[in-house]
Structure 1
């Protein structure tokens, strides 16, 4: 019987299930604290009107976190779904019942499972059955009977079966358990949004379950979840103090490291200008602060730091174009290849694949002998590829090991703009074919 339970749980699991959450940056220690203590803020502060904790303790249905691109929605969702205060307040809502919290982070640049309803449902059901393993025979009776005797006879899960199983778990435990689901990035869902919202509303109707959702402010989400001010927030309107605290902390820390070199920059005015220009976009702040930190390390004077700051456009798309244009002209052909493969590949590819994309010989993969690279040689190639990616993508494609990824979803959106697609095509080598180029790199990876 235990073996059958393991088979059923394993049939729900997939490789990239927890990857997205693990890649979301952890909230800076000075940020988002206000969401748990809005009553301590003056009435003139917009944050004082946030009623997230009231929703946690007293309300059902949906709490919607809306924010424009790069405003920090995913970071906030990760902060909330793991925070002890969230659990403490939710337990008051649950009373004597058992509290179960689940989360899922959609990711448009990830695998199909990371951006689909199938992936969401399998992840949720996997977590639910992990919480209630004794219910598996009741929740999945047909699979249980087959898995118990013929484990190979069960086919893949379909949407209807997954949906029904989730509802059965919630209904079967309604007298003893309450559920709170945190689902991030609804706008990154790759499917029919109207049907998806119908599914979410069906979940919302379950009396012992509620949902904390986040997305960009698309009309369809505003219409569905934005009617009540007490159960929503617009993140970019609330993070001015967070941005100021983060900027001051990072730059002050860098300043202290370089103070022995005679740097005496007064960062107050820099912090004020960054906070004003940011317009609630934390991603923009991160990029600017990273550049200014580099400037401090280089011994930039105050005047140089201000020139550096004022050279950055406040619009993210223009900022990305600024970074893209900073690629050395010598590398632009390879840059085009790297970006086009990253955009069109069905899933994120390894650092080794990217290293092979930069090989000049088109017959390299065919001529490569199987098993050509020892472990230390493969490590050396991957390390070199990290440096090459940095130079050829200016950080828009982060050269992380083992799998490089776009710095942010907004980078992918930017590169898919018509003018950027035309620019990438113009920079590409004559006769460039994305699929053929990727196939050669995958063949080389296979041979290693």
Structure 2
């Protein structure tokens, strides 16, 4: 088949590109290092026969007709590749390198003057033939050849995907027949036709199996990433990629599976947490929203009590739902019930019967009846999102969270829109069954607009977006958000209802749009709510019987003073009911009401003032636990944190085993009571109902009652006030660390649908441990040790089963970390998360230059493909083959085991964890390890990969400095600090060592010297000055370890223990 011939030609072209790249690396090495660069040329000479074979096949291809390549692009590529190959072969044939009798390159020719002269002459001849400009030209030509070849492959794959499944299978059969023997063929065909890896993966397997160029480690993943890049580039250039992606021929089962995989990537944890947490409206509240405003205006006889006799109306919401008008704005002051109204209108009714006028993914809500009149015969889809600033989850306050939530709901309703919304991603999924590209905010925005354009022509879409004012940003950002809402409206005939406070930015942008001002319309609702609250209380019933006039007047006074703020009413009712239970008389109740301020923040002050003295400290502890939590904390986590207040040994004494639903229910109910009695409603457990299932109870969280409460708690004066309510011993981080351990021991996270949630619990425990106060180091170390023991336990069936569920085994942590350099031990994990105090205790016991035994660690960056894919086994085996448990100086080989199996233990320097396990390493952690004997000159690897930790660090720091890799904003400064630390601790700064690092940058990272921004001499002078300044050893300032900025382990602002200790020490000094 023509396609098979084209793919065969691609094999030859990419083989030449591979040879050419190795030649360029060797050429740069010769220019930088003289004779030391000749071994690369020698190794290419040994395999030159393979390249000669490729050139012969390229010549044959010039006489063949391949497919419909009317433009002759493949023929042109073949000719250019042949020219490059002939040029390289001529050079390889001309260069004569002296060899020993057994034919191997002499390792130490520089020791013999006559051989040294020969080598120098060889280098001079090479430089005459290959000037730096020539090498750069060849480098550019090779890059162009590969780019054009991958573009051609992308188009070929796209063309193949459009063909019928039968034709695809015929092509795959031909590919398989060209690869396999008869015995292997049938099994291979079964694998191919099941399409487990996608058509593109099969094609790439054919291509990579034929590439014979040297240095082809990870060639499969490298080509796949290049092909994915070409898919995106060629799609944009073609202009017809939307049509092509939608026409891909795959089975319906595959289409459904890939659609679910695509949507699952858009989802994020807690996507619907806010919507579920919003209070459900009182049974009589908000019914007026669907009424005719004019009719209700005439019927109202009490509205004037809050509006100075002016009857207020609103734009008819029910009529808007039925009309083609695209936008409606619900506005109102903080706490007026906007979110509750949005939920009331759009929430699915659980008891509603199935409605076949809706899309299959939808159920009836209160607004359905009205929207169906707008939708007519088209299916109706209701989409919702709630911004929420009362959480630490940034997704719920960001555009990315907005786009993800809306897009996932639209695509779940209409999966066939995916190829139109994200054609390149869909193409990648169809070809490889994976999508390696990160979803950026701009990607999601474009995808949502495209999806709405497609779906709105086939269905009726109505969006409800609550809390625009809770979006995180300044006035300019808020204006852009509203502008985007208008862009979304322009994407198709859709409806959007938004809710926000009446800020100027929204009033200016939404002026003239249908709207309502909520606090002017809820007098009856609030009156009904207050009446219901009081009538449910036996003390009020008694008061009403004795003083009916006062009871009625009390309700009216509350409603009047509330001024439309439901939140204020809720808190005030709770206060008055407490007074009635305490035996307050009429005058007491009137005084209590008069003392309650009308604004929310002053009311919060009053609530703190009136806390029960017995509970004051406990309430402050709960507020600090909320501040210290990285994410919205589970009610069960709070319960365990509360236990450690009474008994610090409780997590150690807790028996391992799944916590039963009844036990969880008891804990959560008790926690709810304690939060209500201590915090008086400012924080509490949301959506508490009658569901007693373990899954539901585990999902319950502790949240701020309202966004205004979080804003109040984040104020500096409130922070200082809470500090004054604590004693010396409270440390929220050690409490949370203890609670996380208890969560692990009770296995409450093992049955969740997403194992990443379990990873998150582990990470949170370690991050909390990193912030524990010095005085609690002993307890923290025990807690972390116990967590590590659990992670390594293999005799407990529950632990072992669930560690396997994480895709690993009992003493391995690979899936728990990102694909960076990482030792496969619990101590490595602690280093990654900067648990400084724990690491210090452990490495002082480890000794041996901070080297430990580890299973299958992940190799350093240059042994992996630049896109951070895992290292090939051969690469990391070679890297660790010459390591032992001792510390070696540069130049002294280390003798380790003869090869390593997957389960074999290899010596692992913890210094590598500190250096390469994070995007931006922590100089303080590096300093800690160096001070405890870590050797920067420790030898790693063998053969071509032999190096030292110092050389690897220096090479990577040069790469970061060049700007060729994506790193954190403060990464360059961190690497500069680390280089200085390593120099002060004896790093080898000889010319040969620095030159080795620069050659690695050229060879492994493909960055030519002209783009590195450094020279051997310049670096050496800098390092000598640093070494001289420290007297050749670690200086006092180094031993004290600099505190890096922006690391969690140094964030003491929110640890009340640190703050109190500093204040008390300062008072003692003054005294």
For the aligned pair, the TM-score class normalised by the smaller chain equals: 0.7 to 0.9
Aligned partner of residue 120 in structure 1, secondary structure: helix
Q: Does the aligned pair in 1 maintain the 2:258–2:429 contact within 8 Å? A: yes
Match of 1:420 among 695, 718, 721: 718
Structural RMSD (CA): 3.2
Q: Does the aligned pair in 2 maintain the 1:255–1:296 contact within 8 Å? A: no
Cα pair distance change 1:243/1:134, threshold 3 Å: same
Matched ranges for 1:235-314 at <5 A: 235-254=518-537, 258=541, 265-266=548-549, 267-294=551-578, 301-314=585-598
Q: Does the aligned pair in 1 maintain the 2:479–2:506 contact within 8 Å? A: no
Q: Does the aligned pair in 1 maintain the 2:342–2:466 contact within 8 Å? A: yes
Shift of 1:243: 1.4
Separation in 1, partners of 2:483, 2:738: 43
Q: Does the aligned pair in 1 maintain the 2:314–2:516 contact within 8 Å? A: no
Other-structure match for 2:935: none
Q: Does 1:35 align with 2:289?
A: yes
Other-structure match for 1:345: 629
Cα pair distance change 1:159/1:325, threshold 3 Å: same
Matched ranges for 1:77-92 at <5 A: 77-82=342-347, 86-92=367-373
Aligned partner of residue 349 in structure 1, secondary structure: coil
Separation in 2, partners of 1:211, 1:10: 25
Match of 1:222 among 498, 501, 507: 507
Aligned partner of residue 392 in structure 1, secondary structure: helix
Shift of 1:381: 4.7
Separation in 2, partners of 1:261, 1:168: 61
Match of 1:115 among 397, 412, 424: 397
Match of 2:313 among 48, 58, 72: 48
Other-structure match for 2:478: 193
Separation in 2, partners of 1:374, 1:28: 34
Shift of 1:265: 4.1
Separation in 2, partners of 1:442, 1:24: 27
More moved, 15-24 vs 34-43 = 34-43
More moved, 111-120 vs 188-197 = 188-197
Separation in 2, partners of 1:317, 1:438: 28
Deviations 1:209-230 (A, max 9, x none): 23211112222212211x11x5
Unaligned runs of 5+ in 1: none
Cα pair distance change 1:425/1:137, threshold 3 Å: same
Normalising by structure 1, we get a TM-score of: 0.87
Cα pair distance change 1:382/1:33, threshold 3 Å: closer
Separation in 2, partners of 1:138, 1:161: 13
Q: Does 1:64 align with 2:329?
A: yes
More moved, 333-342 vs 315-324 = 333-342
More moved, 299-308 vs 265-274 = 299-308
Q: Does 1:143 align with 2:425?
A: yes
Cα pair distance change 1:21/1:363, threshold 3 Å: same
Aligned partner of residue 287 in structure 1, secondary structure: helix
Q: Does the aligned pair in 2 maintain the 1:67–1:235 contact within 8 Å? A: yes
Match of 2:514 among 231, 236, 242: 231
Cα pair distance change 1:320/1:249, threshold 3 Å: same
Q: Does the aligned pair in 1 maintain the 2:414–2:455 contact within 8 Å? A: no
Shift of 1:420: 0.6
Matched ranges for 1:120-139 at <5 A: 120-139=402-421
More moved, 426-435 vs 69-78 = 426-435
Separation in 2, partners of 1:301, 1:331: 25
Deviations 1:290-310 (A, max 9, x none): 344455567765444434433
Other-structure match for 2:455: 173
Shift of 1:118: 1.5
Separation in 2, partners of 1:419, 1:42: 45
Unaligned runs of 5+ in 2: 1-253, 299-308, 348-363, 687-696, 747-1071
Deviations 1:223-275 (A, max 9, x none): 211x11x5122211222222122222332344699569976644321121111
Separation in 1, partners of 2:536, 2:671: 30
Match of 1:323 among 603, 607, 631: 607
Separation in 1, partners of 2:569, 2:436: 50
Q: Does the aligned pair in 2 maintain the 1:254–1:296 contact within 8 Å? A: no
Other-structure match for 1:403: 701
Separation in 2, partners of 1:205, 1:328: 55
Quick check: which has more Rg, 1 or 2?
2
Aligned partner of residue 464 in structure 2, secondary structure: strand
Q: Does 1:394 align with 2:680?
A: yes
Other-structure match for 1:101: 382
Q: Does the aligned pair in 1 maintain the 2:460–2:494 contact within 8 Å? A: yes
More moved, 261-270 vs 282-291 = 261-270
Aligned partner of residue 195 in structure 1, secondary structure: helix
Deviations 1:109-129 (A, max 9, x none): 232222221111111111111
Q: Does the aligned pair in 2 maintain the 1:99–1:178 contact within 8 Å? A: yes
Deviations 1:421-440 (A, max 9, x none): 11123334448655555334
Matched ranges for 1:371-382 at <5 A: 371=656, 374-375=659-660, 380-382=666-668
Q: Does the aligned pair in 2 maintain the 1:108–1:409 contact within 8 Å? A: yes
Normalising by structure 2, we get a TM-score of: 0.39
Q: Does the aligned pair in 1 maintain the 2:456–2:494 contact within 8 Å? A: no
Shift of 1:417: 2.2
Cα pair distance change 1:156/1:255, threshold 3 Å: same
Deviations 1:400-432 (A, max 9, x none): 553221122221122122321111233344486
Deviations 1:316-345 (A, max 9, x none): 222212222233344434432321231343
Separation in 2, partners of 1:48, 1:65: 13
Other-structure match for 2:443: 161
Cα pair distance change 1:270/1:368, threshold 3 Å: same
